[in-house]
Structures are given as C-alpha cells and as structure tokens.
Amino acid sequence: MGVMRIGHISIRVMDIEAAVKHYENVIGMKTTHRDEQGNVYLKCWDEWDRYSVILAPSDHAGMNHVAYKVERDADLDELKARIEGYGIGTAMLAAEALPFVGRVLQFYLPSGHEMRLYAEKECVGTEVGSTNPDPWPDGLRGAGAHWLDHCLLMCEMNPEKGVNTVAENTRFFIEALDFFQTEQVTVGPGGAIQLASFLSRSSKPHDIAFVGGERPGLHHLSFFLDSWHDILKAGDIMAKNRVRIDVSPTRHGITRGETIYFFDPSGNRNETFAGLGYQAQRDKPVITWTEDQVGRGIFYHTGEMSESFTTVYT
C-alpha cells in the first residue's frame, strides 16, 4: 500500500527544442507525447509508463511539480486523509488532468514544493519488452539512462529564525507518506540542525532528498546508469555535446553513488547516477554525516565542497 516510487517530474525550460535535444541526445530519452500547450513528455528506455519527465515552456527554469506513483487508486483516498490529518490541504485532480494519468492527489510540502500522487498512468512497455527481453535495446542514444531515479529539493533554512523545512519535510514524509530516512547531514552545536535528509520508500538509498538553502527550489533530477564505466562514457557524451558540466565524475560518500552533475540548456541541474550503494531497509540504522565531514559526504574523493553546488539551483 502507498507510495512506490518516483513517477515523473515537470520542469520549466526556456527553449523547448533545445531542451528536447538535450534530454534525447545527452540523457538518451525518447519523446512520447506533445500537448497543445507545448509541453513535451519523455521516457527512458527501461521505463514502462508513458513518461517520466515533462518539459514545460517558460521564461524561467525550475520545477513545477514532482509526482510519485502509488500502488492502488484507493491509496489516494487513504493518503488524502493522512495528509489532511497532518494539517496540509489537498486537491484531487480529475483523470486526464495530466495526459494519460488517472486522478491525481495534489498538495504542497512544508517547503512549498508542489507534489502529486497518482496510481494510474498508461503503460507502454520498455524498449526491450516483457517477453524474452534483451538486456538493452539497439539504437541507444546519449548516455542511455535507464530511468528517472530521484530528485533533490532545496528547502528554506534559517536557524536564527527557527526555520528548517528540511526537518519539516522529513517529518512529513515519514509520518504522512510512510517513507523512512536512510542518511542525514547534521550541523551546529551537538549536531542539532538537520542540514540534509535522504529518504526512501524502496530498497534504494534514496527516492527523494532535501538540503537546506536560502530559498526553496530544484537542486537536481537524477537518471540511473549501470556502472562507473557508464558514468565516464556519459561524461564523454556531455563533452561531445558541449554540455556545461558542474561536477566531473566522482563518488559520493552519502549513498555511495557514482555521479556527474551537469546542466540542461535552461540551467536545470541534471545528474547521472550509478551504483545502488547499499540495500536500504527500515531497520537499517540511519547514517549520519557530521559537520566536519560533510565535504567527504558530498564529494568523497576530494573531501572539498564547492560553494556553487549548494547556492546555484533553479
């Protein structure tokens, strides 16, 4: 029962055709639909639902909403009651309010980000099918990302004013949506302030993450690759396509993931991410990274933080 996994993310882009070219030729996605409003819908080759990324034309970058898929339509009613019981208002959008999607539960997180939950989206199958499938399809483009893996959201934090929406979001996800925490970064006297939080509804190290900043926003959307070799190849593809790379291939201490960070043409940060890191389970102790080791937590090889990594986002 309840939330299973990330379903899709809707992001704003300033040049729709440049964005489509990026997500097709660099990430390796496939366009599956365009609507009358100019939105473009894309999926990765190993995803079976109609789309996982919506590109929405806009005059500025950022995220419109992130949506997670639940197991059954009836779960939406139970989650609606739980969310409203927590003190957060909701709205139920009718089927087809989003193309190819059943009814949708819409609400806003304590951080101000819009989140949606749904149970039904048209299943179109993976590129290798479900009967005697090959391990990968012919004609892969770009990095050949398997799927949209997670997103990281920046949350307003001002300890002097008692504002910490990282902690508020964490509490909401655990109490109302039944996520569990896998890792955290703590700072301040006695580690009393939660700077970052990583949460899961699966066996992955994270299905969503929150980090404190000056304002709410989107830090990155992340796409899964198989291996370190695929991460290096993705870096080559980015260089060939003159993509602006933010962080060259490295490893995280947090989640143990292998990573590259880079930007789409509108400035939305992307990540290609490999390695499941460890098996996340509810009874596994929460991993805590302390203030003196946060550099190693983010960039394990150098142990050095880049200021722009937490101050530049959409």
Active-site residues: which are they?
Answer: 150, 206, 220, 252, 261, 271
Distance CA 50, CA 105 (A): 19
Backbone angles phi, psi at 203, to 5 degrees: -100, 10
Distance CA 182, CA 200 (A): 7
Name the one residue in this structure whose structure tokens are 């992340």.
222
Distance CA 179, CA 15 (A): 36
Kindly report the CA angle at 301 between 300 and 302, in degrees rounded to 5? 100
Distance CA 79, CA 24 (A): 35
Q: What is the 3-state secondary structure (H, E, C) of 128-151?
A: CCCCCCCCCCCCCCCCCCCEEEEE
Distance CA 131, CA 128 (A): 8
Helix, strand and coil percent figures for the chain, each rounded to 5: 25, 40, 40
Q: What letter would DSSP give residue 29?
A: -
